[in-house]
C-alpha cells in the first residue's frame, strides 16, 4: 500500500515538473531584459558608492529630460554588473575602478563589452589618517614611521598590532601584502561594507581618536572629515604585478566607462551621449556631497546640478 | 535542524506529553549518568592517545581538499556557454523569462488597480479571511494601516514591486513545499531523505548560492526569485508533512470504514485535517520570503530592498528605516491575515452566515473592481511624510550619548571573544573532533556523534578550519547571550500577560526588519567589530526564543503548578521545579531555533566586521569567486549540523 502511494506521489511530482518543462519546447530569447518594471530604454547599473550614484543620477536626468529616453537603474555588485553588461542586462557601467580579469574575459576574449572612454575623474586609493592626528604627529604621514604609532592604532580586535581599517570586499586592495612586505606592525580589519567603514570612521572622528584606514578619493566623506594620506613607497609601473610581492603605493586610476557591445553599436543617441559623458572630480563631488552630505535624493541633486551647469553637459549631447 | 517555526504559535508540547516524559525521567537520569561516566573515561584515554600519536596544532594541510578550483571552473563554463548551450536555450532561459514575466505581470496588475484598488483588495481580503466580528474588523484595520503607512512613507511603488515579487515567489514556494511535504508526509523514507536537504536549504546562506543563480539565470528578478523560493519552501514542506502525519487516527479510521480508497482518503480526510498546519506553513513561508527582500536587491531585483540597500551607501539610517518599515508592515498584515484564515474564523457559523463562501468573495471582488474603476494611479506625492530626518537625529543622539556600549564591546572582545577564539584555535584538531563526538554522543546517540564528527571533519577538509573556529566562537557567544536573554524575557512574558502584549509588536519588528537597517546603528554603537556581529545576531534570534519560551511555559499544565503551590512552593520553586522542567521540549526547540537563526546572521555579521566565514561569503559574491563563497557557505552548514547534534536530544518527537 505504502509503495503504491509513494509511487503515485512520485508520478504527481514528475507530472508537475513535466508541465513546467513543456513550456520549454522552443529556444528562449537570450537578450531579454530580466527586470520587472518596461522602447527607448537605457539600463544603467548603480554601484554602491555615492560618486558612482552621482554619475548615474546626472546621466539619467539628461537622458530622460533632454533626449527622451527612459532610464532603468539596477543596483548590484561590481563583478555582477560586469556579467550583466556582457549579457546585455545592463547597457553601461559609468565608473569602473579597474577589473583586469573581467576586462580580459569580456572585452578582449568574448568581445561583448567595449570601452566607453574616460569618465574624467581620477581615482586614487591609499592609507589615510585623520588630520587632527597628523597635525599632532606630522611624521606619521611617512610609512617608515608607522611602526612607531602602531600602538595608537591598537584595538581589542587587532591584539598587539595596530589596526588598519579596511572596507568592503568589493574593493581592490593589496594591503595584506604591503604590510607583510614592508614589515609593518599593522593588521587589517575588514569592516565588510562601505557603510560599516564610514560609520566607524565617523565614530573615531567624533571622539578625535587616532586611526588609520584604507581610503580613496574622490569620496564625499572627504568634505566632512579631513584626512591626510600616508606616503607609501612610490608607485612604479608593474610594482603591483605580483599580488604577493606588492610593496608600493596604489596608482592613480583614470576611471573608465564600459558599454555593452551591441548597445554601443545600436544604442543611437543614448550610446553617443554616454560615450561623451565626461566631468571632473570636483563636479562629481559636488553632486555626491548633495546626496550623501545633505541627504538629498539623487534625482533632486542631479536636477539641481543640471540646472546650474548647462554649459558642461550641453557638450555631451550628440551632434545633430 | 527541526522545523524552523519562527512565529511559533503551536510549537509548545501539550502538558500531557510533558508529564509522561517526566515519569520516565528518573530511569533516563540514571542511564545518562552511566553514559557520562563511560564517556568521560573513553574520552580521557583517547585524549592521551591522540596527544602521543598525532601531536597538536590546527588542521593538517595534507588533509585538505580545495573545492574552489572545480567550482570556479564550473562558473567559467556557465559564462562561456549560457548563450549557446541547449540546456540554457531550451530550459533554463525559459524559466528565467517566465519568472520575469510573472513578476512583471503581477506588478502591472497591481499598478493598474491604482492605490485605491490595491487598498480595497488588501482590506477586504483581510476582512473576509478573519470573519465579520471584532476580529475581522481588527485584521482589516491592520491591513488598512499597513498600506496607508507604506504610502505615507513615500514607498508605494517600491512596496508594490516587492509585493509582486513576494506573490510569485510565495506561490511557487508554497506549491513546491506542499508537494515535497506531501511526499514526506506519506512516506517515512522520503521524509528521512528530505530532512537534511531541507536543513541545508535553510542554513546555507543565500549569499553563497546567489552567485551561481545569477550566472545561470541572470541578474534581477529570476535569480532573486529562485533564491527566495529555496529559502522559503522548507517550512511549508515541514508543516505539510507534520499535518499529514498528525491527522487524527479516528477520523482516518472512519473514512476507511466508509470505504474510501487511498486517494479519496487523502483528499477528503488527510488534507482537510492538515489544513491548519498547512496554513501555518504558508504563514512561515511568507515570513521567510520577506526576509530575503534585501538580499534580492543585491542582484538588482529592485523594490523595498533596493531602497534599504541604497540608503546604506550614504549611511542614511532614516531612509533605510523608512524602507524597512513597509517590510515589517507587509509582514504584520500577511501574518494576521493568514493566521486568521488558518484559525478558520472566516468560515460559517458566526452571525450573518449568508455572507460567506462564494457570495462573500463575489462581494469582495465587486468592491475591488469598483475601487479600481475609480482609476487612481500610484500614491499621491503630496500625501507623503519624510521620516528620515527625525530618525537620523534620534540615531545620532543615541549613538552620541550611549558611550558605554563601546567600553562594553571592548571588554567583551578582550575577555570573552578573544580567549574563546584563541582557545578553540589553540586546541589540537583531533581533540576538537573528539570533543564534538563526545558531546554529541552524550546528548544523543552514536549516530549523532558520527554525523557531528563528520561535519566537523568536513570543515577541516575544506581548508577553512581556523576561520570556522573563529566563526564558531562568535556563534557560541551570540547563542549564549540569546538564550540567557530569551529565557529571561520569555519567563517574564509568560508571567505578565500585559507585558507580552506590549512586547509583541517589538518582537515582530525585530524579526522582520531587514538586518541591513540596523547595520549602521550597530556599528555606530559597537564599532566595526565582532561584537557588532554578535549584537546583530542576538537582535535577530531573540524574538523566536522569547516566543517559544513564553508559549512553552504557558502551556504547562495549570494543575501541576496549582499542586506545587498547594504544597507550599514559592514562586521561584514553582518556576524552577515545575514549570521549566515541564516545558523542556519547548525550551529545546528554542535552543534549536537560536542555533538556526544565529547562523543565519553570520553573513550579515561579515558586513559589520565579523570577518571569518561571513566575510568570505560576501567576498565570494561581490568578487564573483564562486569557490570562495560556496566553501564558506558549506562550512556554515557544517557548523549548523554540529551545533544541532550537540544541542538536540535524538529522542525526537515525530514530526
User: Is residue B146 a part of any domain in this protein?
Assistant: yes
Same domain for A100 and A137: no
**Which tens digit of pLDDT belongs to each residue from A63-121?**
999 898 999 888 887 888 888 898 888 999 999 988 888 888 899 988 999 999 999 99
On the 0-12 / 13-18 / 19+ scale of CB atoms within 10 A, B23 is: exposed
Same domain for B381 and B245: yes
Same domain for A131 and A247: yes
**Interchain CB contact of B618 with A (< 8 Å):** yes
User: Is residue A320 a part of any domain in this protein?
Assistant: no
Residue range B285-314: average pLDDT?
84
Please name the member of A30, A36, A203 whose beta carbon is closest to the beta carbon of B107.
A36
Q: Which residues of B touch A81 (CB under 8 A)?
A: 219
User: Is residue B97 a part of any domain in this protein?
Assistant: no
CA A216 to chain centre: 12
Residue among B202, B284, B277 at smallest CA distance from B240:
B277
Q: Is B356 helix (H, G, I), strand (E, B) or coil?
A: coil
Residue among B101, B106, B308, B100 at smallest CA distance from B220:
B100
On the 0-12 / 13-18 / 19+ scale of CB atoms within 10 A, B466 is: middle
Same domain for A127 and A117: no
Same domain for A237 and A135: yes
Same domain for B420 and B362: no
Which of residues 304 through 333 in chain B touch A, CB cutoff 8 A?
Answer: 306, 309-310, 312-316, 318-319
Same domain for B506 and B363: no
CATH number reported for the structural domain that contains residue A221 in this entry: 3.40.190.100
Residue among B610, B318, B527 at smallest CA distance from A197:
B527
Residue in A with minimal Cα distance to B101: A36
> Is the Cβ pair A36, B624 closer than 8 Å?
no
On the 0-12 / 13-18 / 19+ scale of CB atoms within 10 A, B309 is: buried
> Is the Cβ pair A80, B100 closer than 8 Å?
no
Same domain for B415 and B277: no
Please name the member of B215, B306, B519 whose beta carbon is closest to the beta carbon of A195.
B519
CA A123 to chain centre: 11
> Is the Cβ pair A199, B315 closer than 8 Å?
yes
pLDDT range class, residue B650, cuts 50, 70, 90: low
Please name the member of B104, B175, B297 whose beta carbon is closest to the beta carbon of A36.
B104
Same domain for B225 and B335: yes
Q: Is the dihedral of CA A25, A30, A35, A36 positive or negative?
A: negative
> Is the Cβ pair A26, B221 closer than 8 Å?
no
CA distance A200 to chain B (A): 6
- What pLDDT does A272 receive? 92
Residue in B with minimal Cα distance to A84: B219
Same domain for B419 and B568: yes
pLDDT range class, residue A12, cuts 50, 70, 90: low
> In the predicted model, is pLDDT for residue A4 greater than 70?
no
User: Is residue B6 a part of any domain in this protein?
Assistant: no
User: Is residue A25 a part of any domain in this protein?
Assistant: no
Grid coordinates of B127:
476582512
Please name the member of B187, B523, B615 whose beta carbon is closest to the beta carbon of A199.
B523
Same domain for A297 and A198: no
State the ipTM, two decimals.
0.81
Same domain for B296 and B153: yes
- What pLDDT does A54 receive? 93
> Is the Cβ pair A165, B528 closer than 8 Å?
yes
Same domain for A282 and A163: no
Same domain for A226 and A131: yes
Domain limit, last residue, from A229, A252, A275: A252
- What pLDDT does B25 receive? 54
Residue range B268-272: average pLDDT?
77
Residue in A with minimal Cα distance to B421: A157
CATH number reported for the structural domain that contains residue A94 in this entry: 3.40.190.10
Q: What is the DSSP letter of B53?
A: H
> Is the Cβ pair A37, B523 closer than 8 Å?
no
Same domain for B408 and B379: no
Residue among A223, A204, A49, A231 at smallest CA distance from A130:
A204
> Is the Cβ pair A80, B623 closer than 8 Å?
no
- Tell me how far apart the alpha carbons of residues B401 and B403 are, in angstroms, rounded to a whole number: 6
DSSP per-residue letters across A159-227: TTSEEEEE--TTS---HHHHHHHTT-SEEEEE-SSHHHHHHHHHHHHHTT---EEEEEES-GGGGTS-E
> In the predicted model, is pLDDT for residue A21 greater than 50?
no
Mutate to test the interface with B, among A169, A189, A212, A260 (most CBs of B within 10 A): A169
Same domain for B419 and B335: no
Mapped to the 3 state alphabet, what secondary structure does B423-466 carry? HHHHCCHHHHHHHHHHHHHHHCCHHHHHHHHHHHHHHHHCCCHH
Please name the member of B189, B217, B298 whose beta carbon is closest to the beta carbon of A77.
B298
**Which tens digit of pLDDT belongs to each residue from A112-169?**
999 999 999 998 999 999 999 999 999 999 999 999 999 999 988 888 899 999 988 8
What range does the domain containing A85 cover?
41-122+254-309
**Which tens digit of pLDDT belongs to each residue from B212-222?**
888 888 778 88
> In the predicted model, is pLDDT for residue B319 greater than 70?
yes
Same domain for A112 and A129: no
Same domain for B369 and B223: yes
Same domain for B223 and B153: yes
> Is the Cβ pair B182, A78 closer than 8 Å?
no
Count of structural domains, chain B: 2
Predicted structure pTM score: 0.84
Domain limit, last residue, from A252, A270, A297: A252
User: Is residue A34 a part of any domain in this protein?
Assistant: no
CB B571 within 8 A of CB B509: no
Same domain for A71 and A147: no
Please name the member of A4, A30, A165 whose beta carbon is closest to the beta carbon of B83.
A30
User: What is the percent of chain B where pLDDT is above 90?
Assistant: 16
**Which tens digit of pLDDT belongs to each residue from A174-205?**
899 999 999 999 999 999 888 899 999 998 99
Q: Which residues of B touch A86 (CB under 8 A)?
A: 79
Same domain for A98 and A139: no
Mutate to test the interface with B, among A32, A98, A193 (most CBs of B within 10 A): A193
User: Is residue B449 a part of any domain in this protein?
Assistant: no
User: Is residue A315 a part of any domain in this protein?
Assistant: no
Same domain for A268 and A151: no
> Is the Cβ pair A192, B610 closer than 8 Å?
yes
User: Is residue B66 a part of any domain in this protein?
Assistant: no
Q: Which residues of A touch B389 (CB under 8 A)?
A: 295
User: Is residue B82 a part of any domain in this protein?
Assistant: no
Residue among A174, A164, A172 at smallest CA distance from A201:
A164
Same domain for B310 and B180: yes
Count of structural domains, chain A: 2
Indicate the range of A23-27, A245-249, B89-93 predicted with least confidence.
Answer: A23-27
pLDDT range class, residue B249, cuts 50, 70, 90: confident
User: Is residue B631 a part of any domain in this protein?
Assistant: no
What range does the domain containing B110 cover?
105-254+273-344+358-385
Q: Is A231 helix (H, G, I), strand (E, B) or coil?
A: strand
User: Is residue A5 a part of any domain in this protein?
Assistant: no
**Which tens digit of pLDDT belongs to each residue from B558-587?**
888 888 888 888 888 888 888 888 888 788
Same domain for A130 and A152: yes
What is the helix (H) or strand (E) element at residue A126, kind and residue range?
Answer: strand A113-130
CATH number reported for the structural domain that contains residue B159 in this entry: 1.10.3720.10
> Is the Cβ pair B622, A77 closer than 8 Å?
yes
Q: B542 vs B294, B331, B539, B555, CA distance in Å?
A: 21, 18, 6, 20
Residue range B191-198: average pLDDT?
85
> Is the Cβ pair B219, A84 closer than 8 Å?
yes
Q: Which residues of A touch B418 (CB under 8 A)?
A: 156, 159
**Interchain CB contact of B588 with A (< 8 Å):** no
> In the predicted model, is pLDDT for residue B589 greater than 90?
no
Amino acid at each position: 500500500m505504502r509503495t503504491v502511494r509513494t509511487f503515485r506521489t512520485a508520478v504527481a511530482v514528475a507530472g508537475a515538473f513535466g508541465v513546467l518543462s513543456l513550456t520549454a519546447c522552443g529556444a528562449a530569447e537570450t537578450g531579454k531584459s530580466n527586470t520587472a518594471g518596461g522602447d527607448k530604454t537605457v539600463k544603467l547599473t548603480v554601484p554602491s558608492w555615492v560618486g558612482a550614484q552621482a554619475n548615474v543620477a546626472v546621466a539619467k536626468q539628461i537622458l530622460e529630460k533632454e533626449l527622451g529616453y527612459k532610464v532603468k537603474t539596477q543596483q548590484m555588485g561590481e563583478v555582477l554588473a560586469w556579467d550583466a553588461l556582457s549579457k546585455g542586462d545592463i547597457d553601461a557601467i559609468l565608473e569602473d575602478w579597474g577589473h583586469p580579469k573581467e576586462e580580459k574575459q569580456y572585452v578582449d576574449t568574448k568581445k561583448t563589452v567595449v570601452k566607453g572612454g574616460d569618465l574624467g575623474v581620477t581615482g586614487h586609493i591609499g592609507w589615510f589618517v585623520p588630520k587632527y592626528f597628523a597635525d599632532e604627529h606630522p611624521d606619521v604621514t611617512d610609512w617608515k614611521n608607522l611602526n612607531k604609532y602602531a600602538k595608537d592604532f591598537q584595538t581589542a580586535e587587532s591584539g598587539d598590532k595596530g589596526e588598519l581599517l579596511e572596507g568592503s570586499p568589493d574593493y581592490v586592495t593589496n594591503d595584506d601584502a604591503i604590510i607583510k612586505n614592508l614589515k609593518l606592525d599593522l593588521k587589517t580589519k575588514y569592516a565588510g561594507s562601505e557603510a560599516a567603514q564610514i560609520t566607524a570612521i565617523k565614530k573615531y572622528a567624533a571622539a578625535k581618536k587616532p586611526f588609520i584606514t584604507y581610503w580613496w578619493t574622490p569620496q564625499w566623506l572627504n568634505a566632512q572629515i579631513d584626512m591626510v594620506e600616508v606616503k607609501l613607497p612610490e608607485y612604479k609601473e608593474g610594482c603591483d604585478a605580483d599580488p604577493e610581492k606588492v610593496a608600493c603605493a596604489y596608482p592613480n586610476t583614470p576611471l573608465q566607462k564600459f558599454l555593452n557591445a551591441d548597445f554601443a553599436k545600436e544604442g543611437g543617441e543614448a550610446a553617443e551621449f554616454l560615450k561623451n559623458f565626461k566631468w571632473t572630480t570636483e563636479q562629481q563631488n559636488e553632486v555626491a556631497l548633495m546626496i550623501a552630505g545633505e541627504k538629498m535624493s539623487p534625482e533632486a541633486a542631479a536636477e539641481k546640478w543640471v540646472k546650474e551647469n548647462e554649459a558642461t553637459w550641453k557638450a555631451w549631447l550628440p551632434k545633430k | 535542524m527541526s522545523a524552523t517555526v519562527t512565529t511559533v504559535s503551536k510549537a509548545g508540547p501539550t502538558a500531557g506529553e510533558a508529564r509522561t516524559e517526566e515519569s520516565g525521567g528518573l530511569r533516563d537520569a540514571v542511564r545518562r549518568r552511566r553514559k557520562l561516566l563511560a564517556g568521560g573515561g573513553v574520552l580521557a584515554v583517547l585524549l592521551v592517545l591522540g596527544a602521543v600519536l598525532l601531536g597538536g596544532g590546527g588542521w593538517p594541510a595534507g588533509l585538505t581538499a580545495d573545492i574552489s578550483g572545480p567550482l570556479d571552473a564550473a562558473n567559467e563554463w556557465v559564462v562561456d556557454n549560457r548563450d549557446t548551450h541547449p540546456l540554457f536555450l531550451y530550459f533554463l532561459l525559459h524559466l528565467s523569462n517566465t519568472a520575469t514575466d510573472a513578476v512583471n505581470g503581477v506588478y502591472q496588475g497591481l499598478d493598474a488597480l491604482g492605490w485605491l484598488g490595491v487598498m480595497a483588495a488588501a482590506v477586504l481580503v483581510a476582512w473576509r479571511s478573519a470573519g465579520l466580528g471584532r476580529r475581522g474588523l481588527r485584521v482589516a484595520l491592520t491591513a488598512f494601516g499597513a498600506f496607508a503607512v507604506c504610502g505615507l512613507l513615500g514607498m508605494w511603488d517600491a512596496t508594490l514591486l516587492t509585493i509582486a515579487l513576494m506573490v510569485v515567489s510565495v506561490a511557487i514556494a508554497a506549491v513546491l513545499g506542499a508537494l515535497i511535504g506531501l511526499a514526506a508526509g506519506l512516506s517515512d523514507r522520503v521524509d528521512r531523505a528530505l530532512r537534511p536537504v531541507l536543513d541545508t536549504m535553510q542554513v546555507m546562506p543565500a549569499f553563497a548560492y546567489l552567485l551561481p543563480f545569477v550566472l545561470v539565470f541572470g541578474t534581477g528578478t529570476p535569480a532573486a526569485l529562485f533564491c527566495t523560493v529555496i529559502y522559503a519552501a522548507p517550512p511549508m514542506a515541514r508543516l505539510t508533512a507534520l499535518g499529514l502525519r498528525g491527522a487524527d487516527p479516528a477520523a482516518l479510521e472512519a473514512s476507511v470504514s466508509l470505504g474510501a480508497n487511498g486517494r479519496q482518503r487523502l483528499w477528503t480526510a488527510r488534507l482537510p485535517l492538515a489544513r491548519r498546519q498547512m496554513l501555518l506553513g504558508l504563514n512561515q513561508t511568507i515570513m521567510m520570503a520577506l526576509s530575503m527582500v534585501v538580499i534580492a536587491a543585491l542582484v538588482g531585483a529592485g523594490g523595498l530592498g533596493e531602497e534599504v540597500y541604497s540608503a546604506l551607501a550614504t549611511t542614511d539610517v532614516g531612509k533605510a528605516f523608512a524602507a524597512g518599515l513597509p517590510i515589517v508592515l507587509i509582514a504584520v498584515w500577511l501574518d494576521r491575515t493568514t493566521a486568521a484564515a488558518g484559525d478558520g474564523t472566516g468560515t460559517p457559523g458566526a452571525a450573518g452566515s449568508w455572507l460567506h463562501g462564494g457570495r462573500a468573495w463575489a462581494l469582495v471582488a465587486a468592491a475591488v473592481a469598483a475601487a479600481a474603476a475609480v482609476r487612481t494611479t500610484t500614491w499621491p506625492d503630496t500625501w507623503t511624510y519624510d521620516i528620515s530626518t527625525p530618525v537620523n537625529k534620534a540615531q545620532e543622539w543615541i549613538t552620541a550619548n550611549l558611550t558605554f556600549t563601546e567600553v562594553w564591546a571592548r571588554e567583551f572582545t578582550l575577555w570573552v571573544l578573544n580567549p574563546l577564539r584563541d582557545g578553540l584555535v589553540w586546541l589540537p584538531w583531533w581533540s576538537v573532533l573528539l570533543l564534538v563526538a563526545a558531546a554529541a554522543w552524550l546528548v544523543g546517540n552514536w549516530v549523532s556523534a558520527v554525523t557531528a564528527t563528520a561535519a566537523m571533519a568536513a570543515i577541516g577538509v575544506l581548508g577553512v578550519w581556523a576561520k570556522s573556529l573563529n566563526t564558531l566562537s562568535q556563534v557560541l557567544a551570540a547563542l549564549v547571550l540569546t538564550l540567557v536573554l530569551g529565557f529571561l524575557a520569555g519567563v517574564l512574558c509568560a508571567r505578565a500577560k500585559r507585558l507580552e502584549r506590549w512586547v509583541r509588536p517589538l518582537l515582530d519588528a525585530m524579526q522582520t526588519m531587514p538586518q541591513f537597517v540596523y547595520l549602521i546603528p550597530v556599528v555606530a554603537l559597537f564599532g566595526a567589530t565582532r561584537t557588532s556581529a554578535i549584537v546583530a545576531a542576538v537582535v535577530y534570534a531573540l524574538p523566536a526564543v522569547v516566543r517559544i519560551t513564553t508559549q512553552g511555559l504557558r502551556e504547562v499544565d495549570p494543575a501541576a503548578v496549582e499542586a506545587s503551590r498547594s504544597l507550599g512552593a514559592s514562586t521561584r520553586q514553582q518556576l524552577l521545579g515545575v514549570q521549566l522542567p515541564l516545558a523542556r521540549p519547548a525550551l529545546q526547540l528554542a535552543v534549536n531555533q537560536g542555533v538556526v537563526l544565529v547562523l543565519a546572521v553570520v553573513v550579515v555579521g561579515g558586513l559589520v566586521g565579523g570577518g571569518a566565514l561571513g566575510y568570505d561569503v560576501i567576498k565570494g559574491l561581490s568578487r564573483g569567486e564562486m569557490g570562495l563563497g560556496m566553501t564558506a557557505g558549506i562550512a556554515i552548514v557544517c557548523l549548523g549540523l554540529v551545533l544541532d547534534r550537540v544541542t538536540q536530544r535524538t529522542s525526537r518527537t515525530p514530526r
